[in-house]
């Protein structure tokens, strides 16, 4: 413990706490994530017990937008589906989401490795 305290004394003071984008908790960001989650349920006519996960991720590949929104959802408890929206979650509007008739085409049979869009 004494070594850790000694090291901490030598480190310069931080101006702000460390922050990782994946863990942002600002209320506007949280509201945007919830709005996209609700719109996904509405647009794809998902059941109340279907799980929907909305994430905003950074992309460093050439040609990628700096931030994109990834939506993953499970139907029937086990069937995983996903799609991307090539914009930050705060800029997503209802019309960006796929329609219900496209839901089956969003099925992800194999694990997604991110090698493609």
The residues spanned by each domain of the chain are 24-106
Residues 6+ apart with CB under 8 A from 106: 81, 82, 83, 98
Q: Is the pTM of this model over 0.75?
A: no
Residue 22 to residue 77: CA distance in whole angstroms: 25
80 strand-pairing partners:
74
Which pLDDT tens digit goes with each residue over 23-34? Answer: 556 799 999 999
Per-residue pLDDT tens for 1-56? 565 555 556 555 555 454 455 555 679 999 999 999 999 999 999 999 999 999 99
Residue appearing with tokens 């305290």? 5
């Amino acid at each position: 413990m004494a070594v850790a305290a000694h090291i901490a004394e030598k480190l310069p003071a931080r101006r702000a706490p460390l922050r990782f984008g994946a863990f942002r908790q600002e209320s506007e960001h949280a509201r945007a994530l919830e709005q996209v989650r609700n719109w996904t349920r509405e647009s794809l006519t998902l059941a109340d017990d279907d799980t929907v996960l909305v994430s905003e991720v950074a992309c460093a590949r050439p040609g990628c937008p700096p931030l994109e929104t990834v939506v993953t959802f499970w139907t029937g408890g086990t069937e995983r589906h996903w799609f991307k929206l090539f914009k930050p979650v705060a800029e997503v509007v209802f019309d960006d989401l796929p329609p219900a008739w496209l839901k089956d085409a969003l099925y992800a049979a194999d694990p997604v490795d991110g090698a493609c869009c």
